[in-house]
Amino acid sequence: DQQVKQNSPSLSVQEGRISILNCDYTNSMFDYFLWYKKYPAEGPTFLISISSIKDKNEDGRFTVFLNKSAKHLSLHIVPSQPGDSAVYFCAASASDPGGGADGLTFGKGTHLIIQP
Amino acid sequence: DADVTQTPRNRITKTGKRIMLECSQTKGHDRMYWYRQDPGLGLRLIYYSFDVKDINKGEISDGYSVSRQAQAKFSLSLESAIPNQTALYFCATSGGLTDTQYFGPGTRLTVL
């Protein structure tokens, strides 16, 4: 049973607009949530994270929102740029940002395509 | 130079062969992980190690073994490869409780 769900396999957004990627989780023990970005033929790279004690974390064009009661988080990218085209993975940890003894639990990913 | 390297980057092998995938890191991290990714799926944890003397099974360890030769090196072995082990394999490292994971570029393994 998937504990981290990304229900949109792909998302197409026009350059300059806002991209919103969604993630749902089922395990209430998760304490940290992370977004990773992956280009073809490369490993995932860390983008932004949020602790369960917060509801928002911002880093430049990237903002992550966490709604614990709904077990839902979202990544907002504004404005979207062509270089943002990649697969975005939502990940969660029940212990620490590094994943601890259980590693990180990943969603299936959303392929974001930024249209010029 | 990359902080986390994986060799080989691509490998094609036959059913029943023994395969070793290697991971090296220059980040000085104690924690190392091996994940596999299948098409359309997220990454799943195979094994992890918190230091040279500490090896632990992850979610999908059956059919795999690992060796932590040094702080900087963590190898994944398939003793007798089978076709459903065809996947993309990632090594990752982490510096500890407050640090996230850093991934290598991946090894694409095909078992015929």
Report how far residue A16's alpha carbon sits from residue A26's, in angstroms, rounded to the nearest whole number. 33
Interface of A with B in 51-80 (CB under 8 A): none
pLDDT number for residue B1:
59
Distant-in-sequence, close-in-space partners of B80: CB < 8 Å, separation ≥ 6 = B16, B17, B18, B63
Question: Taking CB atoms and an 8 Å limit, are B101 and A99 in contact across chains?
Answer: yes
The greatest distance separating any two alpha carbons of chain A, rounded to the nearest whole angstrom, comes to 42
pLDDT number for residue B39:
85
Between B54 and B96, residue with greater pLDDT: B54
For residue A99, pLDDT beyond 90 = no
User: What percent of chain B has a predicted confidence (pLDDT) above 70?
Assistant: 98
User: What percent of chain A has a predicted confidence (pLDDT) above 70?
Assistant: 99
Interface of B with A in 82-101 (CB under 8 A): 90, 92, 94-101
Preceding peptide of A79 cis, ω within 30°: yes
Question: Taking CB atoms and an 8 Å limit, are B31 and A98 in contact across chains?
Answer: yes
Q: Note the pLDDT tens digit of each residue in A32-78.
A: 999 999 999 899 999 999 999 999 999 999 999 999 999 999 999 99
Q: Is B64 on the interface with A (CB under 8 A)?
A: no
Looking at residue B9, the DSSP 8-state letter turns out to be S
pLDDT number for residue A109:
96
List of E strands, A15-84: 19-25, 32-38, 45-51, 56-59, 62-67, 72-77
Report how far residue B12's alpha carbon sits from residue B111's, in angstroms, rounded to the nearest whole number. 6
**Tokens (6 digits) for A9:** 């396999």
Q: Is B20 on the interface with A (CB under 8 A)?
A: no
Report how far residue A33's alpha carbon sits from residue A56's, in angstroms, rounded to the nearest whole number. 11
User: What percent of chain A has a predicted confidence (pLDDT) above 90?
Assistant: 86
Q: Looking at CA atoms only, how far is residue B6 from chain A in angstroms?
A: 10
Q: Calculate mean pLDDT across residues A10-17.
A: 97
**Is A59 within 8 Å of A48 (Cβ atoms)?**
yes
pLDDT number for residue A1:
72
